[in-house]
Structure 1
Amino acid sequence: MRTIGVVVNPIAGMGGRVGLKGTDGKVEEARERGAEPRAPERAIAALEALAERAPDARILTYGGRMGEEYAREAGFDPEVVGEPAGDQTTADDTRRAVREFAQSGVDLILFVGGDGTAVDVTEALDEAEAASESEDEIPILGVPAGVKVYSAVFAVTPEAAGRVVADFDRTERREVNDIDEEAYREGEVRAELKGIAEVPVADDLQSSKQVGGGTVESLAVGVADDARQDAGTTYVLGPGSTVGAVKAELGFEGSPLGVDVWRDGEVLALDASADEILANLGEQNVVVVSPIGGQGFVFGRGNDQISPDVIRRSEVEVVASKPKLDGVGVLRVDTGDDEVDDDLRGWRKVRVGRFERRMMKVV
C-alpha cells in the first residue's frame, strides 16, 4: 500500500480563461473578471483515477480546498496533516504541507497546480530532505492545472497522473522550470531552471517546453490567403511565434502570448479573454493554433482563453513547421472538457506549408 501526499493549489489556472496568463499576484483581478477555479475538478479527476487503480492507497493531505475535500469526493478517507493558515491559501501553505509529507515518509507527493506550485513543492522538499539528512529522495508528480506548465514533472492529463501514481515502479530526474509572469504578460518568455526532482518514469509525462525551429513563412502565407478569401469568417489566432507569423502576414502585430480575433481585414480583439472571443464569434469560425514544441499540446497549455465553448463553435486548423512536428511525435489536447477532447482526438491534417499538410495523430 502506497502512502501519497496530496496538495492542491486551489487558485491555480484561474487567470487563463480570462486572459491574465497566470494567477501570480492576480487572484482578485481574476475573480473580478469572473474566473472560476480550475484546480478542484482536476484534483478530483486525478484522485478518482488513482482510486480506481489503487483504492487502498493511504492519502495524506492538507485541510479543506488544499486536498481534503477532493480526496473525500474521490472516495478516499484522507489523513489531514495540517490546515491552511488563513482563508486564502498561499505558497507558504503548500510548503508547510510538503514538509509534513516529508516528515511522514510518503512514497510520492502528488500536487495540483502549475509551474509556480512545482517550484514551491520542489524547494520545500529539498529543504526537508536536507534537514533530515536522508539519502532517499521522495518523487513528485504534477497534475496540470496552471496556465503555465513548462516543467517536465507533470502528467499529460489529470487522469494520467492518477494512473502513474498507482502503477509506477521507478523514477528519474526531471527539470522544474518557471517563467516571469509579468514579462510573460508583456509578451516575453523568460524561462529559468528552478530545480531538479525525482519523477515517476512513464509514457504519460510531458517534456520540458522547447522552441520549435524551421521556417513558417510559407504556411503563414497559406493561412492568410485562406483567411482573406473566407469572407465573413472569424479567425481566432492563438499564441506563439508560428501563429504570430500568420498575424504578421495578415498585416497586424498580434499579442505574441495572447489570443487575437480577426475578420475581413479587421482586428476585432487583441489579447482576448474567453468571453471576448465568444462575443466576437460569427456564423463561421476558424481557430488557428500551433503545438508547443517538445510537448505537442495543441490546447490546454498557454491558450486556455480558447475555451471548450469556443472550440465547439469553430473549425480547428493546426499549423507547425516540419521540425517541430518531428520533435513532438504526436499531438495532445487537455481542454478540461472530456467531450471536446474526445472530438479533437484522432488523425488530423496539420498545415506545414502554403499548400502542404501532414497527417498527425491527436491523443
Structure 2
Amino acid sequence: MRRVGFVINPVAGMGGRVGLKGTDGKVAEARERGAEPRAPDRAREALDSLANHADEVELLTAGGEMGERVADAAGFDPEVVTRPPDETTANDTRGATETFAERDVDLVLFVGGDGTAVDVAETLADLDSSIPILGVPAGVKIYSSVFAVSPPAAGRIAATFERTESREVNDIDEDDYRAGEVHTELRALVEVPVAEEVQSSKQLAGGTVETLAAGFAASVEREAQRASEGSNGRSPREPGTTYVLGPGSTLGAIKNELGFEGTSLGVDVWRADESGDGELLVLDGSADEIEAALGEHNVVVVSPIGGQGFVFGRGNQQIAPAVLRRSEVEVVASRRKLDGIGVLRVDTGDPDLDDDLRGWRKVRTGRFERRMMKVV
C-alpha cells in the first residue's frame, strides 16, 4: 500500500486570471478583483486520477481546504493529521509536511506553485528527509522541475512511480516579477518520481528573436494592406484584427516592432488598423479585461516556455478559456528554444479545450520560416 501525504495551498494561482502574476501577499487584492480559487479543482483532478491508477492508497492530509474536503469529495477516507485555521499560511503547509515526514509517507503530493514547492522542500531539508515530492501545478509561476505536466498526470505518477531522481526547486521574487524582472533562485534539491510527464525546469536563456519579430510585424502590415485593397476572403491579418499578446521576451520584441512598449510579463491587447499600425487597448490585462477588449476577429500570440514547452497554463492564465474559444492561436519561438523542447504542452484548466488545442501546429521561427510542432 502506498502512503501519500497530500496538501493543498488553497490560494495558489488565484492571482493568475486577474493579472497579478502571483498570489504571495496579494490574496486580498485577488479576491477584490473577483478571483476564484483554482487549487481545489486542480487537486480534485489529481486525486481522481490517483484513485483510478492506484490499487491501494493510504491518504494522509491536512484538514479543511488544505486537503480534507477535496479528498472526501474524491471518495477517499483520509487520515487528517493537522487542523489548520480558516485563514491558512505557508506555516500550515510546512506543518503538514513535517507531520507527513514523521509518519514516513512514501510521497508528498502538494498542490500549488513554486512558493508551495519551497515550503515543502525546505521543511524536508530541515528534517534531513529524502521523502520524494511531486507538485500538482496550480500556481501562476512554475519554474521548478518538481511538477507534473498536468493534474491527471500527477495522479498517475503518484500511483505508479518506481524510481526517483534529484531535481531543482526554484523560486523568484514576485515583486520583481511584477516589475518585469525575472531572477530565479535555486532553493532546494529534492527527490522526485521519475516519469516522462514531470516537467523540466524553465530555461531563461534564449536566442535572437529580432528576425522573427520583424517578420511578424511585417505580416501584420502586409495582410492589412491586402485586405484594404479588396483581396477576396477573410484574411487572418485584416484591419480590425485584435491581437492578444502574451508575456515573454519573444513577445516583447514583437510588441516593440508593432510600435508600443508592452508589459514583459503580462498580457497586452492591440488592434491593427488598415496601415498595419494600431491601438493598444489593454496593458497588462486581467482575464476579464482581455475578454472585454476582443473584437470580431482575434488572434492570441504566445511563445512556449523554454525547457518546458507550455504555451498555455504557465504564467499566462490571464488568457482564459473564454478568450481562447473566441480566437485563433499563433505560436512563435526561436529555433533555439524549440530545439530544447521537443513538444508543446497546454494546461488551460479546461480539459475539452486542451483536447481541441492538441495536435500538430505551425510555429513561426523567423521572418518566413515555420516549424511543425506537436501539442500534447
Q: TM-score, normalised by structure 2?
A: 0.93
Offset, 1:55: 4.7
1:87-166 correspondence runs (5 A) = 87-129=86-128, 137-166=130-159
Matching of residue 185 in structure 1 with residue 178 in structure 2: yes
Bigger shift: residues 263-272 or 173-182: 263-272
Secondary structure class of the residue paired with 2:343:
coil
CA–CA separation in structure 1 for the residues paired with 2:31 and 2:87: 13
CA–CA separation in structure 1 for the residues paired with 2:330 and 2:154: 29
Q: 2:253 aligns with which of 229, 236, 245?
A: 245
CA–CA separation in structure 2 for the residues paired with 1:55 and 1:239: 42
Report the counterpart of residue 227 of structure 2 in structure 1. Answer: none
CA–CA separation in structure 2 for the residues paired with 1:22 and 1:214: 27
Secondary structure class of the residue paired with 1:65:
helix
CA–CA separation in structure 2 for the residues paired with 1:73 and 1:362: 32
Counterpart contact for 1:227–1:235, Cα < 8 Å:
no
Bigger shift: residues 239-248 or 211-220: 211-220
CA–CA separation in structure 2 for the residues paired with 1:221 and 1:288: 15
Q: Which runs of 5+ in 2 are unaligned?
A: 225-237, 273-277
CA–CA separation in structure 1 for the residues paired with 2:258 and 2:138: 33
Q: Which runs of 5+ in 1 are unaligned?
A: 130-135
Q: Deviations over 1:331-352 (max 9, x none)?
A: 0000000011001100000001
Q: TM-score, normalised by structure 1?
A: 0.97
Q: Deviations over 1:4-50 (max 9, x none)?
A: 00000000000000000000000000000000011000000000000
CA–CA separation in structure 1 for the residues paired with 2:55 and 2:183: 41
Secondary structure class of the residue paired with 2:291:
helix
1:259-298 correspondence runs (5 A) = 259-264=267-272, 265-298=278-311
- 2:153 partner amino acid: A
Secondary structure class of the residue paired with 2:122:
helix
Q: Deviations over 1:136-176 (max 9, x none)?
A: 61000000000010000000000000000011001000000
- 2:296 partner amino acid: E
Report the counterpart of residue 336 of structure 2 in structure 1. Answer: 323
- 1:114 partner amino acid: G
Q: Deviations over 1:223-280 (max 9, x none)?
A: 2123332200000000000011100000111100000000021100110110000010
- 1:158 partner amino acid: P
Matching of residue 233 in structure 1 with residue 241 in structure 2: yes
- 2:209 partner amino acid: V
Matching of residue 4 in structure 1 with residue 4 in structure 2: yes
- 1:101 partner amino acid: F
Report the counterpart of residue 202 of structure 1 in structure 2. Answer: 195
CA–CA separation in structure 2 for the residues paired with 1:335 and 1:140: 23
CA–CA separation in structure 2 for the residues paired with 1:67 and 1:224: 48
- 1:329 partner amino acid: G
Counterpart contact for 1:164–1:200, Cα < 8 Å:
yes
Secondary structure class of the residue paired with 2:14:
coil
Counterpart contact for 1:3–1:106, Cα < 8 Å:
yes
Report the counterpart of residue 56 of structure 2 in structure 1. Answer: 56
Cα distance 1:212–1:284, how it changes in 2: closer, same or farther (>3 A)?
Answer: farther
Counterpart contact for 1:238–1:287, Cα < 8 Å:
yes
Secondary structure class of the residue paired with 1:15:
helix
Q: Deviations over 1:95-117 (max 9, x none)?
A: 00001000001000000000000
CA–CA separation in structure 2 for the residues paired with 1:38 and 1:62: 18
Matching of residue 334 in structure 1 with residue 356 in structure 2: no
Q: Percent sequence identity over matched residues?
A: 72
CA–CA separation in structure 1 for the residues paired with 2:205 and 2:287: 26
CA–CA separation in structure 1 for the residues paired with 2:145 and 2:268: 28
CA–CA separation in structure 2 for the residues paired with 1:177 and 1:249: 32
Offset, 1:211: 2.2
Offset, 1:74: 1.3
CA–CA separation in structure 1 for the residues paired with 2:155 and 2:73: 15
CA RMSD of aligned residues (A): 0.9
Report the counterpart of residue 216 of structure 1 in structure 2. Answer: 209
- 1:104 partner amino acid: R
Q: Deviations over 1:85-133 (max 9, x none)?
A: x22110000000001000001000000000000000001111223xxxx
Counterpart contact for 1:212–1:323, Cα < 8 Å:
no
